[in-house]
Structure 1
Amino acid sequence: MAKKATIIRINSISEAREELRKIGVDEGGMPFLVPKAVHLAIKLESIEPVPANILKQEMLAQGGDAAVNRGVINHSVEFSDVLLLGTVAQYNKLVRKLNIQPFGLKEIAKQIEDILKTLR
């Protein structure tokens, strides 16, 4: 049994690296663990139903998730905000997938990449 369990919030790559160092993680493991330690919610505004559905599917495929307006599935809404939920590792995989998609998803990939760059 753990002596103590606490929630910690890791908001950047440097914070993740520091927390992992504190527990003595081998440097060789850092590139694999650091991107998994930073969890982010990214909100995309006014996305049309087709790209919103693709975002949801692709994020689920990476092990993350995406919340969309219920009208996205049957196109009963013109636009939906999308709340992406995942780790930096999942977003990196998502960006690679979005870069080969139509419907303006390459531009969304660029926006996500820009956000990830701020986490250093």
Structure 2
Amino acid sequence: MASAKVSVPFNLHRIEIKNSKDAEAAVRSVSPCEESVPLMAPKLLFCVLKLEGVRSPMANILKQEALSLGAEAAISQYSVNCSKPTSDVVLAGTHKQLRKLAAKIRMQSAPLTDERSKEYIGLSDAILGELKERH
């Protein structure tokens, strides 16, 4: 059943934000105090990344850490019990959330063996690299 169109006393339309300049312009378009622009603009930059072939234990960690930051990580149903060795991951969040996620993943590399540590650092660097390309 189609919903009835309701008349409202304001206009609503979608805006496209592709980079930090677009985000700053969008915030400035509503005339906030200038000091608030750098606080609000990063929250308008949203990113969705797909990682392929992530080890299931790492996919689980990504999911938990992403959720703790208010981001999202969709993983395979088989990752929870590691019944399959790898999972693809769809990671989504603001640039700010994903930067924090990359930092948390990097911190977890410290107590690991060299091989596992490199995997965590590589993942962190890959996320940050994608965000820089989109900045």
Counting only pairs closer than 5 Å after superposition, residues 1-120 of structure 1 correspond to structure 2 as: 2-102=9-109, 103=116, 104-120=119-135
CA-to-aligned-CA distance 1:91-111 (integer Å, 9 cap, x gap): 121111111113422211101
Structure with the greater alpha carbon radius of gyration: 2
2:22 and 2:89 map into 1 onto residues whose CA distance is 27
Q: In the superposition, relative to structure 1, how do residues 53 and 3 fare at CA in structure 2: closer, same or farther (>3 Å)?
A: same
Superposed structure 1 runs of 4+ greater than 2 Å apart: none
Superposition TM-score, scaled by structure 2 size: 0.82
Q: Which has the higher contact order (CA 8 A, sep 6+)?
A: 1
Q: How many residues align?
A: 120
- How far apart are residue 61 of structure 1 and its match? 0.5
- How far apart are residue 119 of structure 1 and its match? 2.4
State, as a whole percentage, how many aligned pairs show the same letter. Answer: 32
CA-to-aligned-CA distance 1:43-83 (integer Å, 9 cap, x gap): 11110011100000000010011000100001111211100
Q: For residue 47 of structure 2, what is the amino acid of its counterpart?
A: L
